[in-house]
Amino acid sequence: MNYWIRRFCFISLIIFLAGLRPLVAQEYVGGLISENTVYSPALNPYIVIEPLIVPEGVTLTIMPGTQLYFMIRTSLRIEGGTLLAEGTPENRILFDSHNPSGDTDKKWDGINIFVSRTIADDEGNYLGGNLLRHSLIRQTTTALVLSDTALIHAPDIQIMNSDYGVYLQSGASLVLKNSIIDACSYGMYIKNSGDNIISGCQVTNCDIGIFFPSNNISRNNRITDNNLSFNRNIALFMSIGQGNIQHNLISGNTVAFNNIGLHIGNGGNNDPGLNSISNNIIRNNDIGLKLSQDADTIRDNLIELNETGLMLSKAAISSIEGNTIRQNTGWGMLMTDGSNNNLITGNNIYDNAAGIRVTHKDFKYSVNNRFEYNMVSGNAEEAFLFEAGPQLGIHNNSIQGVRDTAVFVNRFETDLHAEGNYWFTNDTLVIDSLIFDVYDQPVLGEVIYKPFLYQPDPVAPVSRPRMVVKRQVGPDVLVNWLPNSESDLAGYKVYYGLNPDGSFSQIADAGSDTLFVISAYDLAETIAVTAYDTDADGIRDQVEGHESAYSYAVAGPWAGGDASICEDTYFVTGSATAIDYQHLFWETDGDGAFVNPQALSTRYVPGPADIAAGSVNLTLGIVNADYTLYDRMLLTIMGQPSVFAGNDTIVSPESGYYSTTATAANFTGLLWTTSGDGTFDNPAQLLTHYTPGDADIETGSVILTLYLQSECGDISDELLLTVKPAFSISGRLFYESGPVAGGVVLAMNREEAGTRAVALAHSTEDGKFIFNELPAGSYYLFALGEPSLYAGFVPSYYASGSFWQPAYLLPLDADVYDVDIRLEGLANTVPSGAGSISGTCTYPGDAGRDADIYNESWFDPAGPPATTPGYLPAPNHVVYLMNPSLTRIIRWALSDMEGNFNFESLPFGTYRLWGEKAGYTNALSPLITLSPLHPDAEDVVMSVNNQKISIQVPDPGKDGEDIPFLYPNPAGERVWVNLPWSESPVRYEVELYSSTGQKVLTASFTSGFSGANSFLDVSGLAAGIYPCLLKDESGNIRYMILSVAR
């Protein structure tokens, strides 16, 4: 009966199989292979109907392109034998499920290798034994199982849609290179298996990519340069090892888009791993790297764009060093659940939502950790947050926040020792505001930060350049930034030409400059700048901390290059550039105005102060949500050119003409020309000498023209140079007691255009003076002594007198000798008094052709006169103080280098002033009355203009005069007192003063009483002038002058 049942089943199976592929030749295989066997594509497909076993001593060779389909629960088992399955990239070997219906639950049991091993050299190269290459294994429960010390080389294979991609156990080992494991529950399951090499592989779309289960021994595995991404839970998970999952290297892998990227350890107690996790790129995970094991090294990894970058949970005595942790949306580093005694050093932690948080879980505090030589900068919230303590110290770090407060926060009760850090400022008030501790909340511990570093520690990663701004300057882009503070700074690099992967195609070394120009570039393109130190060698410098992270340039405004305009025009900001702004504005530090200050291209109209200053700074600003940027240009405002060739003058053929009085302003070039045949020493210099030619001498005159070139137009001016023979005048200056030493003698030429000083001579110790080379003509000679030495001797003309009208006009057509000039003494000097008269001599208009002589310092080493807006001081002008009838000179003064003159210690009385200058006529001076009520006459102005002199007196001293209250006037023996009428009696006092200011008579009167004294006896007064005051009891004062005659 059993026989027929078995026969029926076998026949049914054959019929069933025959029905599956009725049109294709098939080879059915299964069971024990007793001899060496070769499967080739000529017999495709191979249908494996029961487990295919390769025993010891037997080799199964599978040729490229061969296809094997395994029925459910079948497998390929290498039990001590050898498997040689080597396809090619074009003809892969296929190991697949026999599943015509497409049912995904019908899986076969994969390739199982027991004991059998691959022979390789010391470098891992295949020499013999098992080999699986260029093969595709799919739809299995476990694609590749190695047990019992089995070893196989399996490069370039693909494993897909399996429960377990690779399962290693019982001392088995695997060399898996350049392979793909995709869409498995466990990509790799490594239990009690060591010395595996997984390199260049892609493990993706699994629940867990690579899994080391707890309670197994797995050491010395090398998991390098793989792509462990898009796994639903964890890319690589090492569970609790109890000290047995050790000495593994996880390096150079890309770990992205997983729930947890790398999960090292699972919180076991005393679980030293001694594993090295280095040079991995860990990005876009919920948790980039979670360390829950002891004594591991996390080094030189790039951990970015995760929610939490690096988490330490129940991790102890591990070293976290040289990692770049950036742009994570949560904490860059989180230490919790009793993570103790770890060293965090040399990391670059920047641009995260927050930097480092040290906290607890279930009151398991993370303590005794050390933070050294880290760069923690640009994190939006805290750089450091401590919610657990104590810690072993936070030293030699560079700490910079985005916000101004609570950047370094201690929210635990123990103090934090944070001495020796660099805070990017030396201002302790600023540092205090960055720290949150006991001074902000008394129950907290203190952050002890002093002493602090004044520049970054060179061991810490190089800081990024700050304030990197790019500006469009014509076709080019100008990039500038603030200098770094590192003592070992070597220079900067500028990156541009952004590639799709975020790298740059162009790198320029800017050296130590903080400004770089990229020629013919667009401002909208991405530009970044880094700083590097002296240890940078061009190889992995950013990872090693010898080159900073990228500091991306923001687009700033360009106000334009410095420019210049003429004072009567406006400036157009046509070269200014700006992009990517919310608001734009122009500002000036002058008094001009922009037509539209919110427009990029606008007009600026300079104001009066701008023009007076000659320049103004124009600032272009742009405002964005996070910053405001400025750029400034200097606008030079050029005045209109001005030129003065000099006054028409007379020279001799021998002396020629020196252009000492010529002036020019606001020009770019100048040139002297002549209408005659003379020559200039240097016609391109303002101050030069002209030598008359023969034709000039013969004609007697020549026109000299000074031409100016300027950016605001070309102008010229000319002078008439008269050429006459020259002669000398010599003589002696003296006064009643002998010669006048150091006196001044002016030679004043009488011409058709008026009289002017043409030369000045000083007298020697013996009073002698001489004028050499005076042109022929007619001259007044005017002399005076130094005012402080010869105040009692009036300036005098030759041959006598102190006024020019009666003076001798000396004809000069030959040399003249023995000209004696005597300074006459003042007659009838007045006594000293309490009054004074002071004022200023000015030129309201043209200073005249002889201003150069008058502007010299005649007696004092004073500088040039000060210039008052609208007026020029007129120094060295003689002012006479005279009696009202202008018949007597009382005193004289000489205006100083600022035009000021004064007469002091004058008796009360009435005076007039006279300005003496040959050829000038005087307008009658107002009377100036000095009295007890007006003892000082100030701000008198003597104007010298157009051969005329006039005197202006703001207060002549008569403002208080009223109807005379004493009469008759002049008086004889007595005067009557005319008191103001009032309804009630008012007491008055009358006071009379001498001309020297002495009170000589007083009397009291009362108004409204009949029979009261109504006259004042003045019989005892000498003849003269007496100022009088009438005072009432309320303090009102009236004033008059009483004349007493005898």
Give per-residue pLDDT as tens, 895-950.
999 999 999 999 888 899 999 999 999 888 888 988 888 899 999 999 998 889 99
Q: For residues 570 and 562, give the distance between their C-alpha atoms in angstroms, rounded to a whole number.
A: 15
User: In this model, does residue 316 exceed pLDDT 70?
Assistant: yes
387 touches 366 (CB < 8 A): no
The residue ranking higher by pLDDT, 968 or 43, is 43
Average pLDDT of 179-208? Answer: 97
Q: Is the pLDDT of residue 15 over 60?
A: no
pLDDT in tens, 380-406: 999 999 999 999 999 999 999 999 999
Tell me what pLDDT residue 956 has: 63
Q: Measured between alpha carbons, how far is 181 from 891 in angstroms, rounded to an integer?
A: 119
Mean pLDDT, to the nearest integer, of 94-119?
A: 87
Cα(52)–Cα(55) distance, integer angstroms: 10
Q: Tell whether omega for the bond before 456 is within 30 degrees of 0, i.e. cis.
A: no
Which class in CATH covers the domain with range 563-638? mainly beta
Rounded to the nearest angstrom, the gap between the alpha carbon of residue 497 and the centroid of all alpha carbons in its chain is 26
**DSSP output for 614-682:** TEEEEEEEEE-SS-EEEEEEEEEEEPPPEEE----EEE-TTT-EE-TT-EEES-SEEEEEESSS-EES-
Mean per-residue pLDDT over the chain, rounded: 91
Say how far apart CA 969 and CA 296 lie, in whole Å: 122
- pLDDT score for 912: 92
Mean pLDDT of 663-681: 95
Q: What percent of the chain has pLDDT over 90?
A: 74
pLDDT at res. 4: 39
Q: How far apart are CA 134 and CA 132, in angstroms?
A: 7
Please check the confidence at residue 179 and state whether its pLDDT lies above 60: yes
Q: In whole angstroms, give the CA distance from residue 387 to residue 226.
A: 37
Q: Alpha-carbon distance 13 to 396, whole Å?
A: 78
Q: Which CATH number fits domain 642-723: 3.30.70, 2.60.40, 3.40.50, 2.30.30?
A: 2.60.40
What count of other Cβ atoms lies within 10 Å of the Cβ of residue 448?
14
Say what the pLDDT of residue 961 is. 43
Query: Residues 402-440: pLDDT tens digits?
Result: 999 999 999 999 999 999 999 999 999 999 999 999 999
Backbone angles phi, psi at 173, to 5 degrees: -135, 155
CATH 2.60.40.1930 fits 966-1044, yes or no: yes
Q: In the CATH hierarchy, which top-level class contains the domain 466-555?
A: mainly beta
Q: How many Cβ atoms from other residues are within 10 Å of residue 257's Cβ?
A: 17
pLDDT of 574 strictly over 60:
yes
- What 271-274 contacts at long range (C-beta under 8 Å, 24+ apart), as own/partner pairs, is 271/240, 271/241, 271/242, 271/243, 272/243, 272/246, 272/317, 273/238, 273/241, 273/245, 273/246, 273/248, 274/246, 274/247
Partners of residue 1042 on adjacent β-strands: 1026
Mean pLDDT of 2-25: 42
Cis peptide bond prior to 45, omega within 30° of 0 = yes
**Would you state the pLDDT for residue 957?**
59
Mean pLDDT for 48-68 is 97
Region 835-952: CATH code = 2.60.40.10
Q: How far is CA 633 from the centre of its chain?
A: 13
End-to-end, the C-alpha distance of the chain in Å comes to 187
List the chain domain ranges. Answer: 28-191, 207-298, 307-459, 466-555, 563-638, 642-723, 726-825, 835-952, 966-1044
What integer is the mean pLDDT of 213-236? 96
Alpha-carbon separation of residue 204 from 105, 224, 266, 348 (angstroms): 21, 15, 22, 29
Say whether 642-723 and 466-555 share the same fold: yes
pLDDT tens by residue, 124-146: 678 888 999 999 999 999 999 99
Across 530-557, average pLDDT: 95
Q: Report whether the peptide linkage leading into residue 390 is cis, meaning its omega lies within 30 degrees of zero.
A: yes
- Write down the residue that tokens 């992205």 correspond to: 256
Q: Mention the CATH class of domain 726-825.
A: mainly beta
Average pLDDT, stretch 343-368? Answer: 96
Measured from the Cβ of residue 985, the count of other Cβ atoms closer than 10 Å reads 11
**What does the pLDDT read at residue 544?**
93
